[in-house]
Amino acid sequence: MASFLAVILPAALAIAAATDLLTMKIPNWVSIILVLAFYPVALIAGFDPTQLGIATLAALAVFAGCFALFAMNVMGGGDAKLLTAAALWFGYNASLVSFLVLVSIAGGVLTLLILLLRSQANSIMAIGLPLPHSLVTAKKIPYAIAIAAGGLLAWSEAPLYTLLMRSAA
């Protein structure tokens, strides 16, 4: 059971990345499931009320930063919701910092790759390379890909993951 619970975050991030890549939208239900699933999963893993509160405060801090970026039209609303919901699963510790740093690095690499791809859009479309149309022509970056990459790379460092794996053993 604990192994199944440990897959919720990675699965949700993978779904968000795939839908963002293909449609340039992140379904709200992905972020909602992450938030709603976190609390029972954390309680099953052994989080105490203090740890739950600290994780919630950390996610609210991430939300505040994301809201500011959204207000400045730097970040999309779906990205802000997904990043906030995922941050909840990392809590407030070094794993949250690792997650956010890895998301930033992945976002930079993703942006550079997409800009390179878009600079060659005419050639790519002329040869008929099967890429999502939105990836080549859209003005936005499907940032859920970076959020998913950062989340997948940092997940094994999260206290919640560690507790789940301990109880699975």
Tell me the residue type at 145. I
Residue 79: give the domain boundaries.
Answer: 2-168
Q: Hey, what are 162's tokens?
A: 């560690």
User: Helix, strand or coil for residue 143?
Assistant: coil
Q: Hey, what are 156's tokens?
A: 């094994």
Distance CA 136, CA 83 (A): 24
Average pLDDT (74-93) is: 95
Give 30-67 pLDDT, tens digit per residue: 999 999 999 999 999 999 999 999 999 999 999 999 99
141 phi-psi bin (left φ>0, alpha ψ -120 to 50, beta other)? beta
Domain count, the chain: 1
DSSP category for residue 149: H
DSSP category for residue 72: T
Give 84-134 pLDDT, tens digit per residue: 999 999 988 899 999 999 999 999 999 999 999 888 878 877 887 777 777
